[in-house]
Structure 1
Amino acid sequence: MAGGARVEHLVTSGTFSLDGGTWEVDNNVWLIGDDDEVVVVDAAHDAGAILAAVGDRRLTAVVCTHAHNDHVNAAPAVADAKGAPILLHPADDVLWKMTHPRRRPDCDLADGDEVAAAGTVLRVLHTPGHAPGAVCLYAPDLGVLFSGDTLFAGGPGATGRSHSDFGVIISSIGGRLLTLPGETVVHTGHGGSTTVAAEAPHLEEWAARGW
């Protein structure tokens, strides 16, 4: 693996709230780095647990795949404890402000940006649909994609709530994610991982049934 970068995984638990409802959820927190530095993808729920996983390494960024509260509620505490920037696509500002009205992200993410992670690169893919500013992070050197809530094992992310759009997420998945190499491992925002090859045959089925 380039630069000795590796992928580490932490599951944290809390709640997701939107449109007047609240649900218990388990979130995947992903760390990409080596023994010296690390990037955190989606600082969810438990700042203490995430900081313990980071340890004494330099935290270079907290990257948000989107700004639903369950993916960003621990981001300021984690970032500020380590002096790291929070990165978010600006189209998700409306969702971010619901959770952190007085703390802004530090840097805007844009399609095509690259985030350095211990000698490897996380390439930003803007994949709206689940949220307007949703992004996925593709690490070609590692053969992995961090899909947030855009693509799961078995289907696309939910689009039944405000600031989401089913047609848009299907376009994002088909045009940006399922064009990646089939062996690419997809690390999701909730639940188990999958591969591009496992999901690609089902896109038309999802689109036809409006899932």
Structure 2
Amino acid sequence: MTYSGAVRVGGPADVHELTDLMISKVAVGPMDNNAYLLRCRATGEQMLIDAANEPRTLLRLIGDDGIASVVTTHRHPDHWQALPEVVAATGARTYAGRYDAEGIEVPTDVPVEDGDTLRVGRVELTARHMVGHTPGSIVLIYDDPHGHPHVFTGDCLFPGGVGNTRKDADAFASLIADVEAKLFDALPDETWIYPGHGKDTTLGDERPHLPEWHERGW
């Protein structure tokens, strides 16, 4: 079946099958958060991005193989409500941006710096630090050697704009600068975006709207 990225709370996961990596996307309530399970096709090792809520849903998605790691994209509680239960059940190693780790109640085993490499089996992802939505948000970039890049953006980039900066002009300026420099300027239009809430998009779909985002200030 063709992957669409359109999921709903209480519905099934949607699975994006790449050559080296399988990406399963599921939505959990009550804030319609997305969680992503990454599975290395060569080794079977798994990583979860954002243990947002509904631990039973996430553990069912993870299955009997467990996970080696769980990455929290940023400190906002709606992205880690299930983290205690998931870590307790799986023994997974925890990762989060260095400057957001202090705001996450579950201890972070590995504070992530800008440019760090994270691995799931034989697959490598690059973490980029984005300042504005929170002080230490991170996005994860998988530069697929067999195709285009795939980016897990947390709440930094959505269809239609960057993440909420609460009408703080400096925070917006910081976030959009990071998003432009580290994503739009660095990656091709075909890059697939997996956000922390809602539907997926591509950089090519969003790129024409950057001037509008600058003008409106959010």
TM-score by structure 1 length?
0.86
Between the aligned partners of 1:76 and 1:90, the Cα distance in structure 2 is 19
Query: Shift in Å at residue 58 of structure 1?
Result: 3.6
Equivalence for 2:190: 183
Matched residue, 1:130: 133
Q: Per-residue deviation at 1:118?
A: 3.2
1:26 is aligned to 2:29: no
Superposition pairs of residues 151-170 of structure 1, within 5 angstroms: 151-160=157-166, 165-170=171-176
Distance 2:137 2:109 in 1: 17
Does structure 2 retain, via aligned residues, the 8 Å contact 1:39–1:117?
Answer: yes
Residue 176 of structure 1 aligns to a residue in which SS?
A: helix
Letter in structure 2 aligned against 1:31: L
Contact 2:37 2:47 in 1 (8 A): yes
- Provide TM-score, normalisation by structure 2: 0.84
**2:211 matched to which residue of 1?**
204
User: How many Å apart are 1:76 and its aligned residue?
Assistant: 2.1
What residue is the counterpart of 1:69 in the other structure? 77
Offset, 1:79: 1.7
Question: 1:131-169: CA deviations, max 9, x gaps?
Answer: 11101000001621001000001111101079x811111
Give the superposed CA RMSD.
1.7
| Structure 2 residue 151 is matched with structure 1 residue 145 | yes
The 8 Å contact of residues 44 and 74 in structure 1, kept in 2 or not, is answered as yes
**Whole-angstrom distance in 2 between the partners of 1:106 and 1:146:** 20
Moved over 6 A (4+): none
Measured against aligned partners, the alpha-carbon deviations of 1:97-137 in whole angstroms (never above 9, x if no partner) come to xxx2xx42111011111111232111101111111110100
Task: Report how many residues are paired.
Answer: 194
Corresponding residue for 1:114? Answer: 117
In the alignment, is the contact (CA less than 8 A) between 1:76 and 1:86 conserved in 2?
no
User: Residue type of the partner of 1:13?
Assistant: G
What SS does structure 2 have at the residue aligned with 1:9?
strand
Greater share of helix residues, 1 or 2?
A: 1
**Which residues of structure 2 form unaligned runs of 5+?**
1-17
For 1:144 and 1:93, the matched residues in 2 are separated by: 24
Q: 1:114 to 1:150 in 2, by over 3 A?
A: same
Mapped to 2, the partners of 1:146 and 1:46 lie a distance apart of: 20
Partner of 2:37: helix, strand, or coil?
strand
Structure 1: runs of 5 or more not aligned: 15-24
Give the C-alpha shift of residue 205 in structure 1: 1.5
